[in-house]
Structure 1
């Protein structure tokens, strides 16, 4: 039972982190005190994705599903919980790259917007 709870808790935290990476970008751009929290989430996520390593949260979640006697899902977390419920075939490797690039562009846009906004406030 403890392994099942741990797997579920990791999946829940992972989901909140994924949503925060998207929703947190404009939030951090408009509210500077949120920026440090956004960067704490963004930087490790970026390192994992840019180095092509498996996400540690996904690895831990699958490990605890196995300990709980469940068969873990195939593929990645985003495909399992955010894509497949709406698009059953899931993500292909090329789709993952497109999605990653879109998220990077989104984050860079808001980080750039935040920098420009702060520069204008300081000079104006």
Structure 2
């Protein structure tokens, strides 16, 4: 029972990690210091996608489920839990592109907001002149 619970905890942590990957830059618009944690997660996810290795969260979840007497799923977390459930089956490459696009949009917005904040602190005009 304890091992299954740990498997569920890893499932939730993994979901939170992926959600933060997608929306973290947008959260940094409000809380700018989050950008550093988010940047680390972006680098982590880029490495997983580019190098194509298994995420340690997935490995830990499978380990705990195996110790709890369950037969772990064969594929990765995204293919098992999200592909065919959150988006159409087989659309994971498109979902990855959408996720990374949202990250880029979040970063563009973050840098625009930061630039405006700094200009405002210096007393510069940040909007159109009327």
Common fold by TM > 0.5: yes
1:49-82 C-alpha deviation (Å, 9 max, x unpaired): 2211111111121122112111112322123333
**Partner of 1:107 in structure 2?**
103
- Tell whether the 8 Å contact from 2:23 to 2:103 is kept in structure 1 after alignment: no
* Distance in 2 (alpha carbons) for counterparts of 1:91 and 1:57: 22
Q: In structure 2, list runs of 5 or more residues that go unmatched.
A: 125-130
Quick one: structure 1 residues 27 and 73, their matched pair in 2 at CA, closer, same or farther if it must change by over 3 Å? Answer: same
What is residue 13 of structure 1 aligned with on the other side? 13
Displacement of 1:86 in angstroms is: 5.2
Larger Rg, first or second structure (1 or 2)? 2
RMSD between aligned residues:
2.1
- Structure with a larger share of its residues in helix: 1
2:75 counterpart of 1:79: no
Q: Give the drift of 1:39.
A: 2.2
Inter-partner Cα distance in structure 1 for 2:105 and 2:54 = 26
Residues 19-54 of structure 1, C-alpha deviations (whole Å, 9 max, x = no match): 222232311133212222322332222222221111
Structure 1: state its 5+ residue gaps. none
CA distance 1:78–1:17, shift in 2 (3 Å): same
Count of residue pairs brought into register by the alignment: 120
Q: Give the distance between the partners of 1:91 and 1:75, measured in 2 at CA.
A: 13
Using the size of structure 1 for normalisation, the TM-score is 0.80
* Structure 1 residues 21 and 86: alpha-carbon distance in aligned structure 2, compared to 1, 3 A threshold: closer
Cα distance 1:59–1:91, how it changes in 2: closer, same or farther (>3 A)?
Answer: farther
Please identify, of 17-26 and 77-86, the stretch whose mean Cα deviation from structure 2 is larger.
77-86
Q: Which moved more, 1:62-71 or 1:24-33?
A: 24-33
What's the TM-score, normalizing by structure 2?
0.77
